[in-house]
Structure 1
Amino acid sequence: MRHIVILGNGIAGITAAREIRKRTNDRITVISAETDHFYSRTALMYVYMGHLEFQHTKPYEDWFWPKNRIDLVRQYVKEVDFLAKTVRWEGGAITYDSLVLAVGSQPNFAGWPGQHLRGVQGLYGKPDLDQMEADTKDIRQAVVIGGGLIGIELCEMLLSRGIHVTFLVREKSFWSSVLPAQESALVTRHIREHQVDVRVETELVEVCDDGTGRVKSIKSRTGKSERLEEIPAQFVGVAVGVSPAIGFIRNTSLETDRGILVNEYLETNLPDVYAIGDCVQHRIPPKGRKSVEQIWYSGRIMGETVAQTIAGQRTPYRPGVFFNSAKFFDIEYQTYGDVANFLPDDGPERTFYWEHSSGKIALRINYRTDSGAVTGMNALGMRQRQEVWAQWITEATPIRSVLERLPLANFDPEFFRQYEKEIVAQYNAEHPDQPVVGMKAKKGLFSLFDR
């Protein structure tokens, strides 16, 4: 019987453990210092906001692990001896036949003066949530640094406690490094409507001490100005991205760069050592994907993939068409395929953008100039079916055909207002030489995509 050791109990590591157990009778040990049991990281904000208790974030009952013969070890791993196939922690060690590194990522810090002060932190896991719970008790003001998805979650969490939030965004508008200008402007307006003090083109310069080792304020700089502004804050949430948490295995025989380098089978340069999840850097990324991609569902797919290889069926990682989703307060966001934040006028792609007069609902479709084939989409304030858009993008469906069948992609509840006619009317006004002449009804056609 082999011994499979998995470092990390996030979505990637636990998926690997479950799938290996389905396929083999091998001994499985999962090691993590964070928590006793697997939980949903995406639900942490709802624990803080009082919508859930932490126990509700655990997808499996505690008896699940012994029943399925998955041993859980709560230890902080100090060293991996790849030659001796041994994992070591303070006061203990364990040997392996195959090792799966699913060690996740950690929040980035930029070396700001004072970033070590109490009340300055990122939000990645349960220890961060516990620290935030302690350090935001009875405070009045907070600053959030960084205009990404974790940043907006931190804003919503703090506002739920009645804490005033100043949001520092380096770009001209929220997440404009990812979102095209119109969507970025829409979301920025929406954040401000929720009483967040958004400061665009503004950077953190220094975190100031209250004299007891705790943050009392920050100093920021806006644009090219040399003048520093001091903003009171008893808490500073840092959300400027994450990096693979691989410090303890750097300078070993394992090949690393920004992350742990893997091939298409998630194999490292060392025999019987694999890497999955946030800590991975693909030597050759799958089509339409980045070399480092820290999204929960890609970790899940990697866990499923590596389990098949370990069980004897060597399987390449194939995540399919890129997608992601989030919420900006009460506006839902979905993206599928490739949607660059800027398309040059003379490039190979064009874009069609529709926005409702309310300024809270929008749809963008990118497509090729030569064939009209759709390459990606963004949706804000409306729910779209992932499998439908994935099929359209995979099959290079022309945009006119997509618009004719747009009701098929609608995933909003039955009595929600639908906007397909308005969307098509705008497209036809912009393209009178090639109008969409009709739309296929939604009723009775879901079976095409729900198989």
Structure 2
Amino acid sequence: MRHIVIVGNGIAGITAAREIRKQSDDRITVISAETEHFFSRTALMYVYMGQLEFHHLKPYEDWFWVKNRIELVLAHVTQIDFDKKYLNLVRTPALEEPFAYDVLILAVGSKPNFMGWPGQTLRGVQGLYGKPDLDRMEADTRSIRQAVVVGGGLIGIELCEMLLSRNIHVTFLVREKSFWSSVLPAEESALVTRHIVAHHVDLRLHTELAELRDDGTGQVNTVVTKAGEQIPAQFVGIAVGVSPNISFVRNTPLETDRGILVNEFLETNLSDVYAIGDCVQHRTPPPGRKPLEQIWYSGRIMGETLAQTLTGQQTAYKPGVFFNSAKFFDIEYQTYGDVANFLPNDGPEQAFYWEHAAGEIAMRINYRADTGAVTGVNALGIRQRQAIWEDWIAAGKPIEYVLEQLPQANFDPEFFRQFEPAILAKFNAENPNRPVRLKAKKGLFGLFGR
């Protein structure tokens, strides 16, 4: 019987543990210095906002692990001896000890980026990634009045919403000309930017952090921008991206670059050592994917994939059509396939964009100029069915077909307003030589089969 040790209890590591247990009697140990039990990291914001309690974030009862013979060890890994196959652990209370393994899975996640700003270690300055960050934020934002959030991505807007829920004034520093313009096309970026301002966020575009100053006690109280502006801040949330949490394995025989390098089977350069989740850098990324892809469901798929390999069926990592989702205050966002933030006029792809007159609902469909095959979609304020869009994109369905069938992808409740007629009307106005017409939405049996 092998001893499989998994370092990290996020979605990647826990999925691997559960899937291996389903198919194997191997001894499985999960080691984590963050929390003993797995929780849904993406829902941390709702605990801070009072909509959930932390125990609601745990998908499994605490007895689940004993029942399924998955050992949980609350400890910090300080060093790995890959030749002798053991880890150095520091438990609580501090006690360093060796811990042997036969197979090692590194699922150590990411950490928030800090750019070496003066004052970045002051109390009240932090990122938001795990439970310790939530605890610090809870303690450091009690009774404060003003906060600054740095970085215009998904974590940044979450931090803004969290702070506003406690009536804390938020100044949001975004270095781009509009929110998340490095990812969103100009129209969607402008739409979300307007929505942020409408929620009373003091949004500062083209603005970058230069330094953080304290109040004389080690607590942050001022943010200084590169333009020299001084902004009062009793709390500063840093949201300028994340990077693999791999400092403890650098300068070891394990090959790393920005992340831990793996092949298509999630194998590292060392025998019996694998890596999954946010800490991974793919030597050869799957089609349509990036070498580093720190997304919740990617970690889950890696955990499932590796479990197949470790239980006798070698399986390559194939995440399929890219997708992601988020929430910008009241606007739900979904994206499937490839939707670049900019398309050249003479490039191989074209884009059709529709936006509701109210300015908070929109859809963009990208497609190939030569064949019309749909390559990606952005939906804001219109819920879409993932499986249908994945099928359309994978099959290369032409945009005319997709528009005709668009009601099939709508996931909004039936009493919600439907926007497909308006979307088609705009497409037909822009393409009078190839008009398309909506086909009636199939019933439940017609859509999914009997």
Question: Equivalent residue for 2:331?
Answer: 331
Check whether the contact 2:108–2:278 (CA below 8 A) recurs between aligned residues. yes
| Map of 2:139 onto structure 1 | 134
| Contact 1:408–1:445, Cα closer than 8 Å, also in 2 | no
Q: Please say if 1:169 is aligned against 2:168.
A: no
Structure 2 residue aligned with 1:159, among 158, 161, 164?
Answer: 164
Cα distance in structure 1, aligned partners of 2:441 and 2:215:
60
SS in 1 for 2:75: coil
Indicate the residue corresponding to 2:126 in structure 1: 121
Q: Distance in 2 between matches of 1:200 and 1:319?
A: 35
Instruction: Tell me which amino acid in the other structure corresponds to 1:401.
Output: Y
- Matched with 1:368 is 368
CA distance in 2, matches of 1:414, 1:428: 25
The residue that corresponds to 1:106 in the other structure is: 111
From the superposition, tell whether residues 262 and 446 of structure 1 become closer, same or farther in structure 2 (CA, over 3 Å): farther
Provide, for residues 109-152 of structure 1, a one-character-per-residue CA deviation record: whole Å limited to 9, x for no partner.
Answer: 01000001000000000000000000000000000000000000
Aligned to 1:224: none
Establish whether residue 202 from structure 1 lines up as the match of residue 207 from structure 2.
yes
The C-alpha deviation readout for 1:380-433, integer Å capped at 9, x for no partner, is: 001000000000000000000000100000000110000000000000000001
Whichever residue aligns with residue 314 of structure 1, its letter is Q
| Aligned match of 1:185 | 190
> Within 5 Å, which residues of 2 pair with 1:193-272?
193-221=198-226, 227-272=227-272
| One-letter code aligned to 1:27 | R
For residues 248-297 of structure 1, the C-alpha deviation after alignment (integer angstroms, 9 at most, x for no partner) is 00010000000000000000011111000000000000001000000000
How far the C-alpha of 1:446 sits from its partner, in A, is: 6.1
Alignment match, 2:93: none
Q: Give the CA deviation at 1:79.
A: 0.5
Aligned-partner SS, 2:229: strand
- After superposition, the Cα gap between the structure-2 partners of 1:445 and 1:349, relative to the gap in structure 1 and judged at 3 Å, is farther
Structure 1 contact 43–57 (Cα < 8 Å) conserved: yes
CA distance in 2, matches of 1:382, 1:241: 27
Q: Which has the larger displacement, 81-90 or 45-54?
A: 81-90
Choose the corresponding residue for 1:145, options 150, 164, 168.
150
Report the secondary structure of 2:28's partner residue.
strand
Paired AA for residue 410 in structure 1: N
Q: In the alignment, is residue 415 of structure 1 matched against residue 415 of structure 2?
A: yes
How far does residue 319 in structure 1 lie from its aligned partner after superposition? 0.3
Q: Is the 8 A contact 1:408 1:446 kept in 2?
A: no
Which amino acid in 2 is paired with 1:319?
A: P
**How does 1:296-335 map onto structure 2 within 5 Å?**
296-335=296-335
Q: How far apart in 1 are the matches of 2:445 and 2:36?
A: 42
Asked if the contact 2:41/2:130 (under 8 Å) is kept, the reply is yes
**8 A Cα contact 1:47 1:53, kept in partner:** yes
d(CA) in 2 for partners of 1:353, 1:201: 26
Shift >6 Å, 4+ stretches = none
Q: Is the 8 A contact 2:408 2:447 kept in 1?
A: no
Question: What is the distance in 2 between the residues matched to 1:28 and 1:282?
Answer: 25
Change (3 A) 1:59 1:374: same
| In structure 1, C-alpha distance between the alignment counterparts of 2:352 and 2:444, rounded to whole Å | 25
Q: Is it true that 1:51 corresponds to 2:56 in the alignment? A: no
2:101 and 2:194 mapped to 1: Cα distance? 53
Distance 1:450 1:337, change over 3 A: farther
Count of matched residue positions in the alignment of Structure 1 and Structure 2 = 445
Any residues of structure 2 matched to 1:59-70 within 5 Å, and which? 59-70=59-70
Distance 1:267 1:109 in 2: 29
Once the two structures are TM-superposed, the CA of residue 448 in structure 1 deviates from its matched residue by 3.9
Q: Is the 8 A contact 1:177 1:341 kept in 2?
A: yes
User: Which amino acid is 1:198 matched to?
Assistant: L
Q: 1:94 aligns with which of 95, 99, 108?
A: 99
- Per-residue deviation at 1:178? 0.1
Post-superposition offset of 1:447: 4.3
State the AA in 1 paired with 2:378.
N
Letter in 2 for 1:248: F
**Residues 344-402 of structure 1: per-residue CA shift (max 9 Å, x gap):** 00000000000000000000000000000000000000100000000000000000000
Work out whether residues 333 and 381 of structure 1, in 8 Å CA contact, stay in contact via their aligned partners in 2: yes
CA distance in structure 1 between the aligned counterparts of 2:302 and 2:87, rounded to whole angstroms = 22
Residue 211 of structure 2 aligns with an amino acid whose one-letter code is E
SS of alignment partner, residue 184 of structure 2: coil
- Partner secondary structure for residue 359 of structure 2: coil
Pairwise CA distance, 1:441? 1.0
Give 5+ residue unaligned stretches, structure 1: 222-226
TM-superposition CA deviations, 1:276-335 (whole Å, max 9, x none): 000000000000100000000000000000001011110000100000000000100000
CA distance in 1, matches of 2:75, 2:85: 17
Q: Secondary structure at the match of 1:76?
A: strand
Task: Classify the secondary structure of the residue corresponding to 2:30.
Answer: strand
Say if 2:358 is the partner of 1:358: yes
Using the TM superposition, give the Cα deviation of residue 442 of structure 1 relative to its aligned residue in structure 2, in angstroms. 1.1
Structure 2 residue runs without a partner (length 5+)? 91-95
Identity %: 75
Which residue does 1:38 correspond to in 2? 38
- Give 1:449 shift: 4.7
- Write the deviation string for residues 220-246 of structure 1: whole angstroms up to 9, x where unpaired: 13xxxxx41000000000000000000
| TM-score, normalised with respect to structure 2 | 0.98
- How far apart, CA to CA, are the structure 2 residues paired with 1:93 and 1:412? 53
Letter in structure 2 aligned against 1:197? D
Match of 1:127, as an amino acid?
Answer: P
Aligned to 1:403: 403
Secondary structure of the corresponding residue to residue 257 of structure 2: coil
Length-normalised TM-score, structure 1: 0.98
